[in-house]
């Protein structure tokens, strides 16, 4: 199936505007040991929508961002980083009420065992306000990406729904990256309600099987069928639903009845986090380029493999040439990774 099923508006200045979490990652330099024994960390920009923004910019797309940062050194660090990546920062608000940047200290015990120690109390990104959302800004973009973490608290939650309303009004494609992080939510019922509300307004939904289970917990708690899940959201507004299964790969469903599965590209793991953001940016890049779903899926999976073999998330986001070279080499050694279901 051609990804032209997703009709991105033409003649708009911005390709994509991610919205939500932007913070600072501090990744352990001493790998294969617990954080208690870690002595030094390297600082990177972090947060799923921020990483996706960087990934899309590296792939050559024109990227904006809606978010809020602290009025301090870390806030200036992330804005300056975005500026250097040619990401538009005119709609990033500087918090004047003392909020701090979220910090994520990462522990890399082994290539398959990692953890993240989060500092998320009173963070700036969850204080984005509906009045900070510009209708004209969203109208100027082909797509809007909402990260699920931004739905976890007010006023960020309301700001996201305002942004989605503007996007629907102006034909801006709505992308929902479920991005479940347990530390910000009060209850599982709250997760299911607000995730479902966002999914019903979305054209593209991306998440793990576990994240879809959380979203559907109130309406169909026993469902484990990917096809049933995809069909549920196709009955709303979705045209593409991507369900990830970790080491088993991922499946992209389209509302015209097709499905493709991609297996993970073999790679020497360094860490077990960060691949999802590279996956999303590269997959969405493919859709925006007008590629078929299977090629877009392959591109996303390859970019994810490159990220989990790298120390950082944001800094390691690859360009399109590097991803294609990785794919060509991997397919020569291992054959095709994508199959039609």
Q: Which of 292, 310, 305 is nearest to 331 (CA)?
A: 305
The whole-chain average pLDDT of the chain stands at: 91
Write down the pLDDT at residue 330.
85
Write down the pLDDT at residue 287.
96
Mapped to the 3 state alphabet, what secondary structure does 13-24 carry?
Answer: CECEEEECCCEE
Write down the pLDDT at residue 2.
43
Report the distance separating Cα 132 and Cα 91, nearest Å: 8
CB 104, CB 24: distance < 8 Å? yes
Q: How confident is the model at residue 157 (pLDDT cuts 50, 70, 90)?
A: very high
What is the DSSP secondary-structure string of 126-150? GG--GGG--HHHHHTBSEEEEEGGG
Q: Is a pLDDT exceeding 80 seen at residue 104?
A: yes
Fold of the domain built from segment(s) 11-340: 3.40.1190
CB atoms within 10 A of CB 83: 11
- Within 13 A of 8's CA, how many CA atoms are on the CB side? 23
Please provide residue 252's backbone torsions phi and psi, each rounded to the nearest 5 degrees.
Answer: -110, 125
Q: Which residues of 85-98 are buried (b: 16+ CB within 10 A; e: fewer)?
A: bebbbebbbebeee
pTM of the model: 0.94
Report the distance separating Cα 30 and Cα 44, nearest Å: 16
Average pLDDT over residues 98-104: 95
CB 146, CB 176: distance < 8 Å? yes
CB 278, CB 298: distance < 8 Å? no
Q: Is a pLDDT exceeding 80 seen at residue 4?
A: no
pLDDT digits (tens, 9 = 90+) for 105-127: 988 777 677 788 899 999 999 99
Average pLDDT over residues 126-134: 96
Question: What sign does the CA torsion over 161, 66, 287, 341 have?
Answer: negative
Residues of the chain above pLDDT 90, percent: 73
Q: Quote the distance between the C-alpha of residue 272 and its chain's center.
A: 16
pLDDT digits (tens, 9 = 90+) for 252-298: 999 999 999 998 876 665 555 667 899 999 999 999 999 999 999 99
Contacts of 329 (CB under 8 A, 6+ apart): none
Average pLDDT over residues 57-75: 97
Q: Which residues of 108-124 are buried (b: 16+ CB within 10 A; e: fewer)?
A: bbebeebebebbbeebb
Write down the pLDDT at residue 164.
98
Q: Which segments of the chain are extended strands (E)? A: 17-19, 23-28, 41-46, 67-69, 92-94, 103-110, 113-119, 143-147, 173-177, 204-208, 240-244, 250-254, 259-262, 338-340
Helix (H, G, I), strand (E, B) or coil at 238: coil
CB atoms within 10 A of CB 319: 14
Write down the pLDDT at residue 276.
84
Q: What is the CA radius of gyration of the chain?
A: 19
Q: How many angstroms separate the Cα of 229 from the Cα of each of 158, 201, 250, 283, 310?
A: 26, 16, 14, 20, 33
Report the distance separating Cα 320 and Cα 323, nearest Å: 5
CB 125, CB 23: distance < 8 Å? yes
């Amino acid at each position: 199936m051609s990804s032209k099923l997703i009709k991105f508006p033409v003649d708009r200045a911005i390709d994509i505007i991610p919205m939500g979490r932007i913070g600072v990652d501090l990744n352990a330099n001493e790998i294969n040991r617990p954080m208690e024994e870690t002595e030094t960390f390297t600082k990177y920009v972090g947060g799923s929508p921020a990483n996706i923004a960087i990934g899309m910019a590296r792939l050559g797309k024109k990227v904006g961002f809606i978010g809020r940062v602290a009025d301090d050194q870390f806030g200036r660090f992330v804005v300056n980083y975005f500026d250097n990546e040619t990401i538009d920062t005119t709609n990033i608000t500087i918090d004047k009420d003392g909020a701090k940047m979220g910090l994520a200290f990462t522990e890399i015990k082994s290539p398959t065992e990692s953890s993240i120690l989060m500092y998320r109390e009173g963070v700036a990104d969850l204080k984005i306000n509906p009045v900070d959302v510009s209708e004209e800004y969203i109208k100027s973009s082909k797509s809007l990406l909402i990260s699920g973490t931004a739905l976890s608290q007010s006023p960020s939650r309301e700001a996201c729904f305002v942004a989605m309303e503007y996007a629907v009004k102006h034909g801006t494609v709505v992308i929902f990256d479920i991005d479940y992080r347990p530390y910000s939510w009060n209850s599982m019922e709250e997760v299911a309600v607000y995730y479902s509300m966002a999914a019903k307004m979305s054209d593209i939904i991306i998440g793990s099987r576990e994240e879809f289970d959380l979203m559907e917990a109130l309406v169909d708690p026993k469902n484990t069928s990917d096809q049933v899940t995809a069909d549920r959201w196709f009955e709303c507004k979705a045209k593409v639903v991507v369900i990830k299964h970790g080491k088993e790969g991922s499946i992209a469903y389209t509302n015209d009845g097709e499905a493709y599965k991609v297996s993970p590209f073999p790679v020497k793991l360094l860490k077990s986090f960060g691949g999802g953001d590279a996956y999303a940016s590269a997959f969405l890049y493919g859709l925006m380029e007008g590629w078929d779903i299977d090629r877009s899926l392959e591109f996303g999976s390859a970019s994810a493999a490159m990220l989990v073999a790298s120390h950082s998330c944001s800094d390691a986001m690859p360009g399109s040439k590097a991803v294609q070279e990785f794919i060509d080499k991997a397919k020569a050694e291992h054959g095709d990774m994508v199959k039609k279901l």
